[in-house]
Amino acid sequence: MNDKVNYQRELDEIRALFGYDFMALALAEPAEYHYVIKWKYASGNLNERFKDIVLQSGRGIAGMVFKTGKPFMFASVEQDVPRDAMFNYPIIRTERLTSLGAVPVWNDTRVAGVLLGGYRNDQRVTLQMMQELNELAHLGIGALNGKEYIPS
């Protein structure tokens, strides 16, 4: 499948360009009565467990970004996420992330995916980095054109 190669190559390039330890792309898939969001592609991943994470809209980092269409950031997982809430964010545990940012990837005025970049060390995602990641997502990734719905 040609798309898979393109998404993987783009993620590898984005991760190298921005210097993230981990980069992932979650995509929405139709389920029986609604959509589920799955992490489909990753670069710099520790293992393949990210592929087992399935989220409903509004759940987890990808689910929240997908539902709201707004970027999401934990500058410091240790400071921003209470220990008893960590189970709500399986990608953090699976990839041992210490800081992360996620932005919506639009396609034909709908959120079709979520792009996440994160660190496993003392580096922190900043608001400037989030803005750069968001701008990149608006250029489009793979088959997703980045075109956002702007109400008039």
User: Mapping DSSP to helix (H, G, I), strand (E, B) and coil, where does residue 77 land?
Assistant: helix
pTM, full prediction? 0.90
Q: What is the mean pLDDT of the chain?
A: 89
Whether pLDDT at 138 is above 80? yes
pLDDT digits (tens, 9 = 90+) for 77-93: 999 999 899 989 999 99
Q: Which residue has the higher pLDDT, 40 or 30?
A: 40
pLDDT digits (tens, 9 = 90+) for 39-63: 999 999 999 999 898 887 778 899 8
